[in-house]
Structure 1
Amino acid sequence: MAQAATRTIKVEIKRQSTPDGKATTEAFEIPYRPNMNITSLLGEIALNPTTVTGVETTPITYDSNCLEEICGSCAMLINGKAMMACSALVDKLEQPIRLAPLSKFPVVRDLAVDRSVLFENLKAVKAWVPIDGTYDLGPAPRQFPQVQEQRYPLSNCISCTICMEVCPQFNDATGFVGAATIAQARLFNMDPAGSVLKEDRLRALAGDGGIQECGFAQNCVQACPKGLPLTEAISDMGRDVFVQQVKDLFTR
């Protein structure tokens, strides 16, 4: 009796050895195991980095940390769609599985990209609570439950930059800060302590690359792996930015 063929997983990976290097594609075929995610698939390749043609190569470089959709580092293009590698299940993906780095960020190597633009944008809008030091400040200001319910979803942002990847307005021409930055500005503007910087944040979002660049395509809210109310936050901040601009107009 003929032995049944071993089931395998076919994967094609876009690779780039240096930031300025030429991009190539390598194909791999590894033994199938049920319930694998893309991160574990890349780990299997690392154990035996040999292409389907028998050529020995190097393990794939990619970012990964928590493996449970919290750190946001493993975002990549999977079959052309921006997804988290840790929560993308092989059993639900069409083969050959095509992996590529996010397209709107500089490539560091293979699937790893430089997403520091997000953190520069967060700094530009002062997305933090301005409290420093280890001294006792006493109890924090009280928050109404209704405000807590509004703030909590926004606090779940994992800085994966998927919202920026899928946004048609996020590009070099517009300099748009992206949905994640706007949502975090909204989060800290609703914080009793963080609200002392509210006007600074609104003025920053009124400038170049700010809220006016949003075309409201709503790709961000559809792609967000954590289900953040991004378009709602953008709409609310657009209103607040306009009100701040009117205030500034009459107080100069």
Structure 2
Amino acid sequence: MPERTIKIEIKRQSGPDAEAHWDKFELPYRPGMNVISSMMEIAANPVTADGKATTPIAYDSNCLEEICGSCAMLINGKAKMACSALVDNLEQPIRLEPLSKFPVIRDLAVDRSVLFENLKRVKAWVPVDGSYDLGPGPRIFPQSQEESYPLSNCISCTICMEVCPQFNESTGFVGAATIAQVKLFNENPTGKVLKQDRLRALMGDGGIADCAYAQNCVNACPKQLPLTRAISDVSRDVIVQGIKDFFTH
């Protein structure tokens, strides 16, 4: 009986300006394999299906348990986490491509720094740094904690941005992940001191008005964040802040 194998096709690119091509690989099957373990097999023996030696695949990964968010890629045309994409659940040949909305660094590794620039734009942090002890912060009620906790599970994988039709170079839309963090920090008793700054950062080009509410983000999010609710709530807050600014300035 012939040994069972898995077939993988990977879109490769040696650098940002290099021409893309496809490499095909065939690996021995083992129960429980995921996409990351498959690429580890290739790294151990980087030989294509037709017997040509090549280089190991460049890709991002760290935790291997859907926590760090770094191994997001297109798997059979859909944005997924490679660490939780089991080979047994995927149609073969398994086609792996880099995320399409971000600059390619090499092979499956892309530059997702736009997300972190957007998070800086909306001041997605709790301002507690200082030269002296600020003392204990205000108490947070359990009900508020339970409502905010899901949004704190964002792993910055950028899948919501990849699947969003509004996230592109022409719109400059910040994306669902950034908007969700605005809601998270605006509800924090200490973080909400920057609430007005965050809401104003979402006004104008690339802000929340560019969201067309396609809801692709909430369907694709690997952590099942309540993204559409967060977008609705923040949109309301932005409108209210805009009205206040109009009458006070």
Secondary structure (helix, strand or coil) at the match of 2:140 reads coil
- Report the Cα distance in structure 1 between the residues aligned to 2:130 and 2:29, rounded to whole angstroms: 52
| Residue 82 (structure 1) aligned to one of 79, 84, 87 | 79
Secondary structure (helix, strand or coil) at the match of 2:198 reads helix
- Report the Cα distance in structure 2 between the residues aligned to 1:133 and 1:65, rounded to whole angstroms: 32
- Report the Cα distance in structure 2 between the residues aligned to 1:229 and 1:13, rounded to whole angstroms: 32
Between the two proteins, the alignment pairs up a number of residues equal to 249
**Contact between 2:35 and 2:82, CA under 8 Å: does it hold in 1?**
yes
Secondary structure (helix, strand or coil) at the match of 2:10 reads strand
Secondary structure (helix, strand or coil) at the match of 2:22 reads strand
Secondary structure (helix, strand or coil) at the match of 2:68 reads coil
1:210 matches 2:207: yes
Shift of residue 210, structure 1, vs aligned partner: 0.4
1:201 matches 2:198: yes
- Report the Cα distance in structure 1 between the residues aligned to 2:99 and 2:58, rounded to whole angstroms: 13
What residue is the counterpart of 2:185 in the other structure? 188
Secondary structure (helix, strand or coil) at the match of 1:9 reads strand
| Residue 52 (structure 2) aligned to one of 55, 66, 76 | 55
Shift of residue 153, structure 1, vs aligned partner: 0.2
Shift of residue 131, structure 1, vs aligned partner: 1.1
| Residue 35 (structure 2) aligned to one of 38, 48, 57 | 38
What residue is the counterpart of 2:94 in the other structure? 97
Shift of residue 144, structure 1, vs aligned partner: 1.7
| Residue 25 (structure 1) aligned to one of 14, 17, 22 | 22
- Report the Cα distance in structure 2 between the residues aligned to 1:248 and 1:20, rounded to whole angstroms: 45
Deviations 1:12-42 (A, max 9, x none): 0000000010000000000000001110000
- Report the Cα distance in structure 1 between the residues aligned to 2:64 and 2:49, rounded to whole angstroms: 27
1:236 matches 2:243: no
Worse overlay, 132-141 or 213-222 = 132-141
- Report the Cα distance in structure 2 between the residues aligned to 1:191 and 1:37, rounded to whole angstroms: 38
- Report the Cα distance in structure 2 between the residues aligned to 1:45 and 1:161, rounded to whole angstroms: 26
What residue is the counterpart of 1:68 in the other structure? 65
**Contact between 2:199 and 2:241, CA under 8 Å: does it hold in 1?**
yes
- Report the Cα distance in structure 2 between the residues aligned to 1:160 and 1:134, rounded to whole angstroms: 34
- Report the Cα distance in structure 1 between the residues aligned to 2:17 and 2:187, rounded to whole angstroms: 42
Shift of residue 136, structure 1, vs aligned partner: 2.6
Q: TM-score, normalised by structure 1?
A: 0.98
Shift of residue 134, structure 1, vs aligned partner: 6.7
- Report the Cα distance in structure 2 between the residues aligned to 1:76 and 1:228, rounded to whole angstroms: 19
Question: Which 5+ residue runs of structure 2 have no aligned equivalent?
Answer: none
- Report the Cα distance in structure 1 between the residues aligned to 2:30 and 2:133, rounded to whole angstroms: 53
Deviations 1:187-207 (A, max 9, x none): 000001100000000001012
What letter corresponds to residue 210 of structure 2 in structure 1? E
Worse overlay, 146-155 or 92-101 = 146-155
Question: Which 5+ residue runs of structure 1 have no aligned equivalent?
Answer: none
Deviations 1:206-226 (A, max 9, x none): 121000000000000000000
Segments ≥4 residues shifted beyond 3 Å: none
- Report the Cα distance in structure 1 between the residues aligned to 2:131 and 2:35, rounded to whole angstroms: 42
Secondary structure (helix, strand or coil) at the match of 1:153 reads helix
Deviations 1:83-103 (A, max 9, x none): 000000000000000000000
- Report the Cα distance in structure 1 between the residues aligned to 2:39 and 2:248, rounded to whole angstroms: 58
For the aligned residue pairs, the C-alpha RMSD in angstroms reads: 0.8
**Contact between 2:128 and 2:134, CA under 8 Å: does it hold in 1?**
no
| Residue 165 (structure 1) aligned to one of 162, 166, 169 | 162
Deviations 1:134-167 (A, max 9, x none): 7432211111222111110000000000000000
1:176 matches 2:173: yes
Shift of residue 80, structure 1, vs aligned partner: 0.3
